[in-house]
């Protein structure tokens, strides 16, 4: 049986009802009458999800009116509850014999045999259920199901607007516009963030649902589809290195979605049914999102990401808007939400307005995590589908210590975190009070605490924290923020400004460390199967010596009449270091020939990040002025575990016997006086790990500014001699332990070390 007038006529009439100046209940009552008439149904009912869980009957045409605001169904209970929990339509010719059928005597629905129900969806959440029923047994057509789903979109907007708030039965019930949710992820940058969601790649808010001119909307849709396909083709072409492989298969699968006939057919059908092109995309995407979010198969969940990306691109084409949020539009108390982000993308945003970051993908040792820690912004990763779950402006809480993320938190949860933030602020005040206190262990051993930095705005933290020096200045951040290679004078200006801001405090510049996940948009590179093991850091500098020489020249000029310390990243062999020193000496000689004032002294160090140097320690110590352990990379290379791959990044513990024994070999180089040794990886900024490093023999640790206070507090409570004896005895034991963390924690507790 076809609906008279079809969905277009119904949508037009519903739009007229939406504009009428009547109460919300009167509007809803009028809507169910219109739907029942258009669908040739004897019953039309609207169930709305309440904040306390059940679905409540809000309006009906055909059932007993007394049941309105009285009848409820729990999620999963009855046919209505089944639709709410599965987020899928249900059409039955004999509803009474369905195993989920639940009889509610107050409704008087026992005389109706056939049943059609569809979920009322918005943003992948089920806000309610729309139902039509008939006395006679009949099969509902695909066209009728489509028509009812289209109509449900209008109801979704009505519910989401809050118009129905206050109509729910009972004194404390309210409509669940969207439910609070607590999710557990992986903490990657410590801190607490309370604010509102800002989507890094914002979704288009569809405000107009009903089409004025269907043919015009079809034409807009076709134009946008072609433009979207072209943008996808361009994206893939720019990423194409001509090589076959898994990455190429992924890109081609992405392209296939953009050309999927079934998906495109559903879009066109939705427009033909009376929706605008934007509403059609939203409608089809809502259906797909609701189904795929409930899948456990990782492959299908990945398809949700791809489909969301394609739909988002199509919506932006229709709206004529950029796919990326303008960083200048960032509101106060912003919490960035994204599937993933590059460090450069994060640095585009005004850090003074950032309160937190929530990502779907990023390891604790990834560069985006390092930058987040440098900015002092709480960050949590591994929250599946967060970019599909939250909407722009949603209240969010990010706990960078526990990894918890609260979406639309309840008032009591928010109040608890506000108090937690106050306690954290008081603790930070206590740490600041230690600024001028020397970092001495209880038995008088001095430990150098240094600060990692990468931006000029990091420099004020030197005085705030009382750090002994800048133990690592990441020069690549300047390159990542620029639209082209920074010229010699721009680099010199930055390095001079850093040295001026540091005053008498030493600064150790790391030469350009790019490659892997730190790509320069203006530098042509080829896709690599294993970028972490590929062309990066000093390898690029030695292959493109002009690039490294210009950077060294800028540093030498900036340090004129002052001391200069710089180090080469990712040195794998002594010969690589010798080649780097030769370039530096060539630049010093060039500076002298020009009659420029040279630095009073120049020290060149090697970053120990590649395990091969562990077996060349005496040789590298002989030619390098100092050594600095990059524990993040050393860890990933020692265990062959990509720190940006969440499947393996947390598989191995930095407090494992193998890694600690490797670090002990390096510390012994410093203790024997062969070369000064420091550690500038993230593990130096965690109290238990720092205690262990000091016990191994490290006397200089460089870390993020926010970590210096907690580490100094730990040092001031550390009786080094007995702790060192216990740690060394533990390392000498032979066993099959994956980690010594708990044993080391017991040592700390036994000696009252403050962690």
Please tell me if the domain spanning 181-202+325-416 has the same topology as the one spanning 448-608.
no
The residues near 230 (Cβ < 8 Å, ≥ 6 apart) are none
Q: Phi and psi for 416 in degrees, rounded to 5?
A: -65, -40
Mean pLDDT of 688-717: 94
Q: 78: phi > 0 → left, psi -120 to 50 → alpha, else beta; which?
A: left
| pLDDT, mean of residues 323-341 | 76
Which residues are annotated as catalytic? 367, 680
Q: How many percent of the chain have pLDDT more than 70?
A: 87
| Domain range summary for the chain, segments of one domain joined by + | 6-160, 181-202+325-416, 214-319, 448-608, 626-755
Task: Tell me the pLDDT band of 3, cut-offs 50, 70 and 90.
Answer: very low
Place of tokens 């604790």: 364
Confidence of residue 171 (pLDDT cuts 50, 70, 90): very low
Secondary structure in 3-state letters for 50-115: ECCCCEEEEEEECCCHHHCCCCEECCCCHHHHHHHHHCCCEEECCHHHCCCCCCCHHHCHHHCCEE
pLDDT at 301 over 90: no
**What superfamily would CATH give domain 6-160?**
GAF domain (3.30.450.40)
- Which of left, alpha, beta for 108 (phi over 0: left; psi -120 to 50: alpha)? left
Mean local confidence (pLDDT), 242-248: 45
Average pLDDT, the chain: 85
Give the rounded distance of the alpha carbon of 442 from its chain centre.
41
**What pLDDT, in 10s, does the model give residues 467-518?**
999 999 999 877 876 767 889 999 999 999 999 999 999 999 999 887 766 6
Domain 214-319: assigned CATH number: 1.10.274.10
Contacts 24+ apart (CB under 8 A), 232-237: 232/258, 232/310, 232/313
Superfamily for the 626-755 domain: Phosphoenolpyruvate-binding domains (3.20.20.60)
| Across 586-604, average pLDDT | 95
Of the candidate ranges 84-93, 103-112, 527-536, 672-681, the one whose mean pLDDT is the lowest:
527-536
CB 10 within 8 A of CB 136: no
| Structure tokens that stand for 740 in this block | 């010594």
Among the listed residues 416, 453, 404, the one whose alpha carbon sits nearest the alpha carbon of residue 187? 404
Task: Please write the tens of the pLDDT for every residue from 403-444.
Answer: 889 888 877 788 888 888 887 787 778 888 898 999 999 999
Q: Are 550 and 491 in contact (CB under 8 A)?
A: yes
Residue 680: Cβ-neighbour burial (10 angstroms; 0-12, 13-18, 19+): buried
Would the pLDDT of 325 be above 70?
A: no
Alpha-carbon distance of 17 to 510, in angstroms, equals 66
pLDDT at 235: 61
Q: What is the pLDDT of residues 273-283, one digit of tens each?
A: 888 888 888 88
Residues 704-716 have pLDDT tens digits of 888 899 999 999 9
Kindly report the CATH class assigned to 181-202+325-416: alpha beta
- Return the CATH superfamily for domain 448-608: Phosphoenolpyruvate-binding domains (3.20.20.60)
- Residue 376, pLDDT score: 81
Question: What's the token pair of residue 566?
Answer: 């710089």
What value does the mean pLDDT take over residues 238-257? 55
Query: Which is it for strands 43-49 and 55-61: parallel, antiparallel or unpaired?
Result: antiparallel
d(CA 500, CA 8): 69
Share of the chain above pLDDT 90, in %: 42
User: Which tokens sit at 437?
Assistant: 């206190």
């Amino acid at each position: 049986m076809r609906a008279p007038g079809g969905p277009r006529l119904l949508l037009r009439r519903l739009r007229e009802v939406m504009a009428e100046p009547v109460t919300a209940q009167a509007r809803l009552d009028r809507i169910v009458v219109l739907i029942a008439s258009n669908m040739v149904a004897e019953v039309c009912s609207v169930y709305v999800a309440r904040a306390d869980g059940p679905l409540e009957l809000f309006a009906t045409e055909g059932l007993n009116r007394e049941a309105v605001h009285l009848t409820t169904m729990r999620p999963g209970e009855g046919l209505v509850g089944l639709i709410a929990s599965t987020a899928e339509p249900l059409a039955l010719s004999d509803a009474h014999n369905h195993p989920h059928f639940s009889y509610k005597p107050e409704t008087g629905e026992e005389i109706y045999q056939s049943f059609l129900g569809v979920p009322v969806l918005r943003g992948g959440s089920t806000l309610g259920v729309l139902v039509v029923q008939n006395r006679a047994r009949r099969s509902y057509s695909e066209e009728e199901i489509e028509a009812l789903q289209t109509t449900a979109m209008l109801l979704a907007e009505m519910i989401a607007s809050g118009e129905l708030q206050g109509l729910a039965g009972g004194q404390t019930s309210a409509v669940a516009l969207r439910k609070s949710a607590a999710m557990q992820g992986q903490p990657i940058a410590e801190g607490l963030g309370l604010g509102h969601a800002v989507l890094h790649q914002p979704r288009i808010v569809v405000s107009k649902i009903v089409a004025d001119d269907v043919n015009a909307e079809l034409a807009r849709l076709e134009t946008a589809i072609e433009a979207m396909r072209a943008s996808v083709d361009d994206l893939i072409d720019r990423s194409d290195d001509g090589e076959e492989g898994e990455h190429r298969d992924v890109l081609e699968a992405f392209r296939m979605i953009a050309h999927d006939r079934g998906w495109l057919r559903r879009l066109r059908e939705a427009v033909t049914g009376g929706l605008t092109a934007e509403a059609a995309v939203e409608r089809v995407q809502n259906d797909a999102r609701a189904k795929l979010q409930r899948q456990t198969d990782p492959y299908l969940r990945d398809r949700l990401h791809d489909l969301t990306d394609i739909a988002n691109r199509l919506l932006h084409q229709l709206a004529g808007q950029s796919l990326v949020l303008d960083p200048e539009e960032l509101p106060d108390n912003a919490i960035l939400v994204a599937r993933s982000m590059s460090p450069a993308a994060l640095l585009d945003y005004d850090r003074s307005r950032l309160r937190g970051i929530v990502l779907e993908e990023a390891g604790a040792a990834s560069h985006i995590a390092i930058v987040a820690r440098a900015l002092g912004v709480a960050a949590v990763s591994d929250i599946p589908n967060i970019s599909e779950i939250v909407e722009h402006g949603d209240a969010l809480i990010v706990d960078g210590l526990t990894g918890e993320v609260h979406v639309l938190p309840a008032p009591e949860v928010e109040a608890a975190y506000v108090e937690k933030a106050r306690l954290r602020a008081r603790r930070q005040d206590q740490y600041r009070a230690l600024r001028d206190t020397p970092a001495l262990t209880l038995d008088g051993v001095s430990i150098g605490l240094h600060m990692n930095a990468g931006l000029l705005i990091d420099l004020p933290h030197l005085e705030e924290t009382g750090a002994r020096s800048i133990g690592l200045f990441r020069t690549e951040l300047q390159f990542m923020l620029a639209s082209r290679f920074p010229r010699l004078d721009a680099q010199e200006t930055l390095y001079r400004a850093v040295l001026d801001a540091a005053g008498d405090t030493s600064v150790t510049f790391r030469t350009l460390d790019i490659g892997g996940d730190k790509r320069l948009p203006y530098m042509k590179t080829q896709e690599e199967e294993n970028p972490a093991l590929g062309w990066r850091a000093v390898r690029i500098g030695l292959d493109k010596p002009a690039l490294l020489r210009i950077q060294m020249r800028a540093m030498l000029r900036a340090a004129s009449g002052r001391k200069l310390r710089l180090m080469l990243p990712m040195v794998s062999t002594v010969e690589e270091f010798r080649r780097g020193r030769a370039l530096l000496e060539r630049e010093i000689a060039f500076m002298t020939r020009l009659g420029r004032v040279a630095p009073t002294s120049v020290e060149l160090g090697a970053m120990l990040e590649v395990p091969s140097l562990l077996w060349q320690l005496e040789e590298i110590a002989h030619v390098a002025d100092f050594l600095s352990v990059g524990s993040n990379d050393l860890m990933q290379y020692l265990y062959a575990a990509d720190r940006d791959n969440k499947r393996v990044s947390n598989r191995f513990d930095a407090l494992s016997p193998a890694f600690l024994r490797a670090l002990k070999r390096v510390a012994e180089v410093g203790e024997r006086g062969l070369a000064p040794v420091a550690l500038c990886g993230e593990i130096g900024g965690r109290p238990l790990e720092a205690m262990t490093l000091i016990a191994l023999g490290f006397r200089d640790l460089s870390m993020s500014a926010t970590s210096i206070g907690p580490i100094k507090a730990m040092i001031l409570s550390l009786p080094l001699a007995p702790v060192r004896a216990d740690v060394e005895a533990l390392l000498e034991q032979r066993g099959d332990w994956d980690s010594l963390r708990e044993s080391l924690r017991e040592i700390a507790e036994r000696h009252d070390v403050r962690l």
